[in-house]
Amino acid sequence: MESNDSDKDSVPSCVDLFYYWRRCSSSINQFRFYYIYGTFRDCSEHMTSFRKCMSYKTTKSEETKQQLLESQAKIKEDAKKLIGNSNPVWKLREKPPADWNRYNNDEFSKSS
């Protein structure tokens, strides 16, 4: 088995990075993100990773590789921040509202 250090330094596939960007920027994903968080998701970091990957594949520059790995680390960090961070839609109540049975009165019983 390989160690975790080698996983940190491995360059992901450019095809995978393009797929992640495309999935991030899809209309379904954007509408879902807007519904949960109230804003559209910024997918520019995914495109930056893809471009850095393509640049690294052609130049094999260590500097570009480091920039790519930093970009990937930022994406993972941002994803961790989003987990379980959606705003609750409903407020938790300890007791039911005072008028919870306002429609359960004699008027509705008589009309049946």
- Environment class of 101 (CB within 10 Å of its CB; exposed 0-12, middle 13-18, buried 19+): exposed
Q: Which residue would you say has higher pLDDT here, 5 or 87?
A: 87
Determine the pLDDT at residue 29.
95
Tokens 């850095």 map to which residue?
A: 52
Q: What angle do CA 51, 64, 46 make, to 5 degrees?
A: 35
Q: Residue 89 pLDDT > 70, yes or no?
A: no
Q: Mean pLDDT across the chain, nearest whole number? A: 83
What pLDDT, on a 0 to 100 scale, did the predictor assign at position 35? 87
- For position 96, what pLDDT does the model report? 84
Per-residue pLDDT reduced to its tens digit, 41-75? 999 999 999 999 999 999 999 999 999 999 999 99
